[in-house]
Chains A and B, each alone.
Chain A
């Protein structure tokens, strides 16, 4: 199975700060990577797919990049509503595997 190593496990950011979350795959996943946001007590929501494609309706301050085994999610200008947990997911091979998650809080 492909292992997804996500970092950091937690992050505290100030209003307007730019932050990055990383995911490293145990093998090449050919940009078959998605990012999901989960707010407290809610279901996850799709942010980014194919490593860098923004899902409809997601604010443009969210962006994704990467290739091969290294991927990142960037939030350009932290907003209060961005607090929550973030997960990467590899979709290159079954079984699909998620990263362990990053808890993002507003400082």
Chain B
């Protein structure tokens, strides 16, 4: 199982960014997927979940600003980040979910810095 995030970078407040997570080594279409973030020196913060049937759930802090999606043909998970704030600065991890909250594999993370 391998998960590889990409798309991170430095972005100004109010702008947008799109993260990707390329999956391999398992049947991507059969798994739920999560995005989790970690601010510098802080703990883990769950962001969003998408089921194998593309149902979605979001943390309150990102609801209405972030959108999780998936392309099963490309074995890729996405996170669209809009209206970014400084408090969104973090490493963003994607994780596969063998059962809802059971995140059995994680990517290496993509760094997002929101600053003017």
Contacts and interface: CB of A to CB of B under 8 A. Distances in A.
* Chain B associates with chain A: yes
Interface of A: 1, 32, 34, 36, 38, 43-46, 49-50, 55, 85, 87, 89-91, 94-101
Contacts of A97: 46
Nearest to B44: A98
Contacts of A98: 43-46
B102 A34 contact: yes
Interface string B65-77: 0000000000000
Contacts of B44: 36, 38, 44, 87, 89, 98, 101
Contacts of A1: 60
9 contacts: A34-B103, A43-B93, A43-B107, A45-B106, A50-B102, A89-B103, A95-B59, A98-B44, A101-B44
A47 to B, nearest CB: 11
Contact of A96 (B46, B99, B106, B109): B46
Contacts, number: 58
A101 to B, nearest CB: 5
Contacts of B43: 85, 87, 98-101
B44 to A, nearest CB: 4
Interface in B3-58: 36, 43-46, 49, 57-58
